Amino acid sequence: MLYTRKGDNGTTKTFGCDQRISKSSSVAEALGSLDETNSFLGLARAKTAGMSFKTALGETKFSDVVLEVQQNLFIVQAEVAGATMTISVDKIKSIEKIVDEIEKVLPPIKSFFLSGATVISATFDFARTLSRRAERRVVAVKEEGKITVSAETMTYLNRLSSLLYALARISGHIEGVEEIKPDYK
């Protein structure tokens, strides 16, 4: 059944919790931001089907990287909702390894860049902004003391935006598009 009628009064239930919380609560907002990020990454995965990039690690499919992130975001959501799951250090190292290898292929960053070099790079840039918002929401509920989130999960959320930025840059690079710096005029 796609509806239960239990949320009609503006409340929802989180993982492993018997009490209901307001859908406008900071915990619901954090979970919603994570869900929004994950859903948008589904669009990024669909748009990059069949596309790959090359680094010293070999050829890597964009969609494989994104799918792994989507799976990991479900772990983050479960933890934020109160489950005992957490992100492992290996998952953080996996992101760092991909970012490090992509950076070796790209020209060094000397400035900010305008989003929109290509549809794919703009998609990853937008996903990056969504992931940053989700990270801010999780930080907020953690600071409020409403949830406990592991240091590894917080690190993962922070690294995620770096990964998405790296994917945006490498996708534009593959397509031979020049990154445009803001002119501040």
Residue 181: inside a domain, yes or no?
Answer: no
- Report pLDDT for 31: 94
Per residue in 135-177, pLDDT (tens digit) is: 999 999 999 998 899 999 999 999 999 999 999 999 999 999 9
- Report pLDDT for 22: 54
- Please give the residue that has the higher pLDDT: either 155 or 7: 155
In order of 37, 114, 160, 168, the CA distances from 43 in angstroms are 10, 21, 16, 14
- Report pLDDT for 12: 60
Residue 179: inside a domain, yes or no?
Answer: no
Query: 184 falls in which pLDDT band (50, 70, 90)?
Result: confident
DSSP structural state of residue 180: P
Q: What percent of the chain has pLDDT over 90?
A: 69
Helix axes 119-143, 151-174, angle to 10 degrees: 170
CATH number at 61 reads 1.20.1200.10
Residue 43: inside a domain, yes or no?
Answer: yes
Residue 183: inside a domain, yes or no?
Answer: no
The alpha-helical segments, DSSP class H, found in the chain are 26-47, 62-80, 89-105, 119-143, 151-174
What is the number of structural domains in the chain? 1
- Please give the residue that has the higher pLDDT: either 65 or 147: 65
- Please give the residue that has the higher pLDDT: either 97 or 83: 97
Residue 81: inside a domain, yes or no?
Answer: yes
Residue 13: inside a domain, yes or no?
Answer: no
Structural domain for 74, as ranges:
23-174
Q: DSSP for 3-32?
A: --STTTTSEEE-TT-SSEEETTSHHHHHHH
Residue 18: inside a domain, yes or no?
Answer: no
Map tokens 């945006």 to a residue: 168
Residue 147: inside a domain, yes or no?
Answer: yes
**Across 90-97, average pLDDT:** 98
Query: 33 falls in which pLDDT band (50, 70, 90)?
Result: very high
Single-letter amino acid, residue 29: E
**Across 90-107, average pLDDT:** 96
Asked if pLDDT for residue 94 goes beyond 70, the answer is yes
> How many residues are present in the chain?
185
For residue 75, the SS3 value is: helix
For residues 117 and 178, the answer to whether their CB atoms sit within 8 Å is yes
